Structure 1
């Protein structure tokens, strides 16, 4: 049986592949409708529609290559319904140097599936 930690790490790896494929619509099943994202520059994005629109905007940039988030740990709440994922991220563009940093994501289990409830990205390099 797959542990929640393994399921979340697998979903993160899949989102990395979807981002590399540059199709924002395919990310929708991973986001809670009320998702909140604090981007690496400190800007706040509220709601799945706006998060998907932000991805679509980046995907339209011909210099954008990908974001890769690497899970370093996942902790569950006592009920097993929420989890905190922490890790590192790297963003790459063809004509600019990479950006990187740390992230924390909150996952919520909804009808048997883990969805991203919120994410905080901190640009460190």
Structure 2
């Protein structure tokens, strides 16, 4: 399977996990030391445990915002098992988009499985 297809499938799994509030499904999609830089305040979430704790808190908010990431391009390295995903994201709560923007994610293939090493978000609306 190509890196492009594998990463798109993993991103779809991440989107499903976010929509369903499924922490157990999110964990395997993240590298142990994954980094996330948020879109508005540039807060840094360092490591899988920190991200899972943040998602756990996020899942308790009412109404809950469901975040979706939509890949536009995926560029795989020809010399290393890494790739960059570029796309658009949005957060929807109670049927209303409350934030959206652009993102980039760095993926690494480890043991035949693609995991997210880093993500950076830009809030545009």
TM category (shorter chain) comes to over 0.9
**Runs of 5+ unmatched residues, structure 2:** none
Q: Distance in 2 between matches of 1:13 and 1:73?
A: 14
Corresponding residue for residue 13 of structure 2: 14
Once the 2 structures are TM-superposed, how far is the Cα of residue 79 of structure 1 from its aligned partner? Answer: 2.3
Q: Distance in 1 between matches of 2:12 and 2:106?
A: 16
Q: Distance in 2 between matches of 1:26 and 1:78?
A: 29
The answer to whether the Cα contact below 8 Å between 2:90 and 2:97 also exists between their aligned partners in 1 is no
Runs of 4+ in 1 over 2 A off after TM superposition: 94-97
Once the 2 structures are TM-superposed, how far is the Cα of residue 96 of structure 1 from its aligned partner? Answer: 6.5
Corresponding residue for residue 109 of structure 2: 109
Task: Give the structure-2-normalised TM-score.
Answer: 0.94
Q: Distance in 2 between matches of 1:5 and 1:95?
A: 30
The answer to whether the Cα contact below 8 Å between 1:63 and 1:95 also exists between their aligned partners in 2 is no
Q: Distance in 2 between matches of 1:71 and 1:90?
A: 12
Once the 2 structures are TM-superposed, how far is the Cα of residue 95 of structure 1 from its aligned partner? Answer: 8.3
The answer to whether the Cα contact below 8 Å between 1:23 and 1:59 also exists between their aligned partners in 2 is no
Q: Distance in 1 between matches of 2:95 and 2:124?
A: 19
Q: Distance in 2 between matches of 1:112 and 1:68?
A: 25
Task: Give the structure-1-normalised TM-score.
Answer: 0.94
Secondary structure of 1:79's aligned partner:
coil
**Runs of 5+ unmatched residues, structure 1:** none
